[in-house]
Chains A and B, each alone.
Chain A
Amino acid sequence: EAGVTQFPSHSVIEKGQTVTLRCDPISGHDNLYWYRRVMGKEIKFLLHFVKESKQDESGMPNNRFLAERTGGTYSTLKVQPAELEDSGVYFCASSQGSSGRIGNEQFFGPGTRLTVL
């Protein structure tokens, strides 16, 4: 079974440019999460999809970040325009889940390392 995949693995862009990150979750996983780790800081939650619906986007830093999950399969995270402080590693994770269950293991992708110059 394929794991969570993310593309690209690395991205270097200039301030003001746009970048789109992609995450393909494990097939059949309804839950998809985006996290970010800025150097020296802890991993921070960005948002959570259940299928194609945004369940929780309380961690999104500002309106320069836009996440979508059309059709409830892969997800994209767009940063427009990128700022220096957006640099970090963006992780995507997916899990199975159904109403009432607890303890859903989240499987992580390898991450996208974003550098904004």
Chain B
Amino acid sequence: GQNIDQPTEMTATEGAIVQINCTYQTSGFNGLFWYQQHAGEAPTFLSYNVLDGLEEKGRFSSFLSRSKGYSYLLLKELQMKDSASYLCAPPGAGNNRKLIWGLGTSLAVNP
């Protein structure tokens, strides 16, 4: 089966660092994506991990541990515009690569 678990909500202060955790169970493994979604908009790609370890990409970094079924998204130097939902999405098994979604984490960045 496929199951994704993330905190529902998080709050942080502008300029701070926040870590959004994700645990997942999938029947296969084709990597793990992180997407950002602002209210009323489409999800936008943030990062992709297929190997264990940390992938750094500007203010955003993503970590993956395949053996633990665990990933996190690290956001540094938070800005007000980072207030959004963050969704970790492992692709399904096989060549389809349809994305499996949880409810995501709603992050509020306060001044």
Query: Quick one: which of A4, A45, A99 has the most chain B CB within 10 A?
Result: A45
Q: Once the chains bind, are B95 and A99 in contact (CB under 8 Å)? A: yes
Q: Once the chains bind, are B45 and A107 in contact (CB under 8 Å)? A: yes
Interface residues of A in 90-117 (CB under 8 A from B): 91, 93, 95, 97, 99, 102-111
Measured CB to CB, the closest approach of chain B to A114, in angstroms, equals 14
Q: How far is the CA of A43 from the CA of B92 in the complex (A)?
A: 14
Chain B facing A: main interface SS = loop
Measured CB to CB, the closest approach of chain A to B25, in angstroms, equals 15
Q: Once the chains bind, are A103 and B50 in contact (CB under 8 Å)? A: yes
Q: Once the chains bind, are B45 and A56 in contact (CB under 8 Å)? A: no
Q: Once the chains bind, are A44 and B45 in contact (CB under 8 Å)? A: no
Residues of chain B with a CB closer than 8 A to A91's CB? 42-43
Report which of B31, B44, B103 forms a contact with A103, defined as CB distance below 8 A.
B31
Q: Once the chains bind, are B98 and A109 in contact (CB under 8 Å)? A: no
Q: Once the chains bind, are A106 and B41 in contact (CB under 8 Å)? A: no
Interface residues of A in 22-51 (CB under 8 A from B): 31, 33, 35, 41-45, 48
Identity of the chain A residue whose Cβ is nearest the Cβ of B44 in the assembled complex = A108
Measured CB to CB, the closest approach of chain B to A1, in angstroms, equals 15
**B27 in the interface (beta carbon within 8 A):** no
**Interface CB pairs A-B, < 8 A, 22:** A4-B42, A33-B98, A42-B101, A42-B102, A42-B103, A42-B104, A43-B87, A45-B99, A48-B98, A55-B95, A59-B98, A93-B99, A102-B31, A103-B30, A103-B31, A103-B50, A106-B33, A107-B45, A108-B42, A109-B42, A111-B41, A111-B42
Q: Measuring CB to CB, which residues of chain B are less than 8 angstroms from any residue of chain A? A: 30-31, 33, 41-45, 48, 50, 87, 91-92, 95-104
Q: Measuring CB to CB, which residues of chain A are less than 8 angstroms from any residue of chain B? A: 4, 31, 33, 35, 41-45, 48, 55-56, 59, 91, 93, 95, 97, 99, 102-111
Apart from A33-B98, A43-B43, list 12 A-B contacts with CB within 8 A: A31-B97, A33-B99, A42-B104, A45-B98, A45-B99, A55-B95, A55-B96, A102-B97, A105-B45, A106-B97, A107-B45, A108-B42
